[in-house]
Amino acid sequence: MSFQTQSTALGKQAFFFREGDNITIPAAGSNAGAASRTNRPDATDPLYQQLQTVDDWEWDIKTMGDEKVYAPSPGRMQLFDIVEKGAEAMVKFSTNQIQGLSVEVFYRTYSAAGGGNKITSAGGVFVPLNCKPQRGWLHTELYDNDNNFALSLDVYGLLRITGGIASKEGAILRPKFEFNMLYSALAAALANNS
């Protein structure tokens, strides 16, 4: 898919790599260590956990504290520039499946700084709200409705489930995730330009 003017539906896939897990790819020897904003795992690292089937997806970028700059033209002051003092990015998405990582993130059972217990597909014992929200790397892949690659992102940040996990009679559980991107010099993105 190229980014030409066209109507497109995008399918989203999301994967999460916990801060504190050992990196195995690109090289287990020299690059093994804690996942952090200074050490990014490769997108093919097997310790990335798929966040299952993504239902909806919304990236939002907000500016923080713009300042207007005025200049004379030649005497009357007119808007000359707008200086953006900062920005933040966040993605909100929901999945239509629940997994060990969903339970771990929702109940805050584990963090690299606080320890606790990781929850696997087999389950696990944990203390609810024992740790801070989970930090790590989010790897996303977007494809168009013809299965052509469109965009990938590798960003570091904070993953939470917000708004609860509602359960209704006969309804599918749909965890609502929120990922706040935190600064990392290793953040990367790739757009298909073919």
Residue 169 has pLDDT above 80, yes or no: no
| Annotated domain spans of the chain | 10-191
Averaged pLDDT for residues 45-74: 90
Could you please state the CATH topology (level 3) that the domain comprising 10-191 is classified under: Pnp Oxidase; Chain A (2.30.110)
Give how far the C-alpha of residue 166 lies from the chain's centroid of Cα atoms, to the nearest Å: 22
Tell me what the pLDDT averaged over the chain comes to.
85
- CA-nearest of 10, 42, 3, 5 to 145 is 10
- Residue 30, pLDDT score: 43
Q: Give the position of tokens 């708004």.
A: 163
Contact by Cβ (8 Å): 120, 100: yes
| pLDDT tens-place string over residues 116-128 | 888 887 878 889 9
Facing residues of 70 across strands? 79
Residue 89 has pLDDT above 90, yes or no: yes
- Residue 83, pLDDT score: 94
Dihedral pair phi/psi, residue 103, rounded to 5° = -65, -45
Give CA–CA dist 134/115, Å, rounded.
11
Question: Which of residues 120 and 189 earns the better pLDDT score?
Answer: 189
Supply the pTM of this predicted model. 0.86
| pLDDT tens-place string over residues 24-59 | 887 665 444 667 777 888 889 988 999 888 888 899
| Extended beta strands in the chain, E state | 10-18, 49-50, 54-63, 67-72, 77-83, 87-95, 110-111, 115-116, 134-144, 149-161, 176-181, 188-191
Give CA–CA dist 146/133, Å, rounded.
36
Dihedral pair phi/psi, residue 173, rounded to 5° = -70, 130
Contact by Cβ (8 Å): 51, 17: no
> DSSP readout, 7-48?
---EEEEEEEEETTSBP-SS-TTTT-SB-BTTBPPPTT-TT-
Phi/psi region, residue 155 (left: phi>0; alpha: psi -120 to 50; beta: rest), is beta
Contact by Cβ (8 Å): 56, 176: no
- Residue 92, pLDDT score: 93
In terms of DSSP H, where are the helices of 35-184? Answer: 100-107
